[in-house]
Structure formats: structure tokens, C-alpha cells
Amino acid sequence: MFKMHRKIFLGFSFAFLFSLLIISLGCGGNGSAQEDKSVQKNGNQKEINRNFSLAVWAEFLQYEEYEKIYDKLEKLGVELFLRVKDGDFPHPSLERMKFRAWLLLKEEDGYWLSVWNADKFFRLVSDFLKYYKAEWIILDFEPPYEFATKVTSVFDFPKVITLIKPPDDVYEEGKKKIYEIIEFAHSKRVKVMCVAIPFVVDDILRDSEKVQRNLGIPLPENCDEYSFMVYSTILKGGLEKIGIKIDAPEFFVWDYAKDIFKIFGEKSALSVGLVGDDTFGNKGYNSSDELVKDISAGLSAGIKNFNIWVLDNMRDKTGWNIEKWLDISYVEPSTPPRNETVENVRKLIIDVLTSIRN
């Protein structure tokens, strides 16, 4: 178990809203053409026939630790989405690995990208591209880290969530700067992957900007790929804590995936997980079979790009064990059975996030 920055906002969102769910609930396939991709590497040659692409997030370890297993990732045909934090480069390990640079500020500057720190992110992107010739960068849209640290219990959530909403002028200026970041990257012939919490999707479906405005995370229209964090294990664990059991948590993945693909088409991707436990007590997948079910659900909605959270937990006392989680070949698309509880959770979250007032 390790610190879990990326899960703070999402984890507490679910925790708070699951409490409300008890009151509100009283508790109690889309097909697509399949594409085969073969990956073959030199050395210990291993051919991997997949009908999807696979990547893994890496956040908390030293670059040297990831470098130790980089050859294994290549042989498994898995792309590395590597945290590159402000102040952590240049670094010799970054010269020896191919990766998508997941750019992050220091915690005191907000860590993730939002309208509050768009100017600093522009500088970060500019600095990184001065040092490295990159094919991709990753921009992670989440409310600032400082707000997340104020949430020490579910009872703090309503107060803190009102603090997140930026003034209109901050929102508009930050939004403009975010578009400039992407245009700048494109001018350097660098592609941009935009990552966001899934609730933004509901905003877009409603032809609205309310969730984005309330959280200060406007999702640009000019990204080259869009990945949304649909962590079925967090949903499942949160519901179980309040006495609600769901048999097919992968329905949560499918329910969002169908809408994500409808909006973004071939630019769509899903971040799935958790592998391992997090610091909120959320339990990860019991086995790789559960991960495969999430991938299967996403495939049935048309999505072919999957990003697994998190590489850091793919090791035990004996060392790295990435093959257990990443040695996945062809996965049969399968639409999970409908789950009304999951649908109601989704609706409840959006109702809360759209009701924020300053």
C-alpha cells in the first residue's frame, strides 16, 4: 500500500455519495468490429495478439525502479504512462525509457491540471518539451490537491466541494490557458491525452458545462485521446461498506464506456483498476480475472484502449510480478447484466455535483 494522490477526490466523492445512497435507494451488447494488434519485440521474443491496447500508470516510485522492469513491459506490449513531476527532470532514466509523460505539478501548486493552475502547467509543459522530444504528454484534469487535503471525513465533503468552484473570471481565463497548452503541444507535434473523472461525461451528455465549471476542470475539445477513470473496485468497495452488494461491478465500466465511445469514438480510452489496495481502505481486484471483465465490458461498448491503475502495486515481498496482471492477450467483448443500483449511484453523483453553490 502506498500514498494515493490520484484517488483522493474520486475516493471521497464515492464515500460521501454512498452515504446519501442509503437514503435515496432505501437499501436495496453494444457490439463493435474487433481489431487484432500484434506486438513483437527483440530479445526474448514474445508475440502478443490483442484486440486492444494496454498501458499502465506509474506514479510513486523512483524512476530507477521503473527502469528495472521497462524491458518486461516492452516484451508484454504494455505502454508506460509515467508520472513526470515538476522539478524531477532532467533525469538519466527518462532518456532510457519510452513513455507517455504524465505531467504533474508539486502538491502545493495543485498537482493536477485545473483552471486554478493552468499558467503553471503551461510553464511545466514548455519546460518538459525543451528537454525531451515527446510523442505524447498526458494532462490529468482534477480539482487541486489542496482542496482534497481538506477532506478528512465524509462530513467535510459538502463544505469543501463548495470551495472548489472557481469564480467565473478564474474559470474562463484558466479554460483559455488550457486550450493554449494543447495548441502549444500540437505546435511542437506532440499529441495530448486528456484524463478526467467520469462525471464530466454526464456533463457533455447534457450539453452542459456545469460539472466542469463547478470543479474547475473544463475538458478541451482538441485533445488527441480521452481517458476516463472508471474504477469498478472503488464503486464495489464503497457500496459494500454500506451493505449493498453488486455481483457485476463491471457494469459501471460498461455504463460509462458506452457513452464515452458515443462522444469520443476512436479517441476513447478507459482507466481501470485498482490493482492493489489504496490508502482509503479500497480493495483492488481479487485476481486478474476481474480486470479482464472490466476490459471485456469496455470492449463491448467499442473502446479499445485500456490504462491500468497502478503499476506500483504489481509487486510483492519477492519483487515485481507484472506478468500476473499484464500478460493478457485476446479478450472476448461481453456486455454485463444491467444493474439499477449502479445507474442510481451515477445519477446521484451528478445531481450532487451539479448542485454546488458558492
Domain residue extents for the chain: 5-353
Contact between 300 and 265 under an 8 Å Cβ cutoff? The reply is no
Length of the chain: 358
Contact between 56 and 311 under an 8 Å Cβ cutoff? The reply is yes
Which pLDDT does position 117 carry in this prediction?
Answer: 98
Half-sphere exposure of residue 192: CA atoms within 13 angstroms, side-chain side? 23
Q: Would you call 98 helix, strand, or coil by DSSP?
A: coil
The pTM assigned to this predicted structure is 0.89
Which pLDDT does position 164 carry in this prediction?
Answer: 87
Contact between 219 and 212 under an 8 Å Cβ cutoff? The reply is yes
Cα(156)–Cα(320) distance, rounded to whole angstroms? 38
Residues 6+ apart with CB under 8 A from 344: 21, 24, 25
Q: Would you call 307 helix, strand, or coil by DSSP?
A: strand
Termini Cα distance of the chain: 36
Cα(59)–Cα(102) distance, rounded to whole angstroms? 9
Contact between 141 and 116 under an 8 Å Cβ cutoff? The reply is no
Cα(357)–Cα(189) distance, rounded to whole angstroms? 40
Element (H, E) at 269: strand 268-273
Residue-level pLDDT, tens digit, the chain, 358 residues: 445 565 555 555 555 454 444 333 333 333 333 343 333 333 444 567 899 999 999 999 999 999 999 999 999 999 999 999 999 999 999 999 999 999 999 999 999 999 999 999 999 999 999 999 999 999 999 999 988 777 655 566 667 777 889 999 999 999 999 999 999 999 999 999 999 999 999 999 999 999 999 999 999 999 999 999 999 999 999 889 889 999 999 999 999 999 999 999 999 999 999 999 877 678 899 999 999 999 999 999 999 999 999 999 999 889 999 999 999 999 999 999 999 999 999 999 899 888 877 6
CATH class as words, domain 5-353: alpha beta
Residues 6+ apart with CB under 8 A from 203: 209, 210, 211, 212
Which pLDDT does position 92 carry in this prediction?
Answer: 97
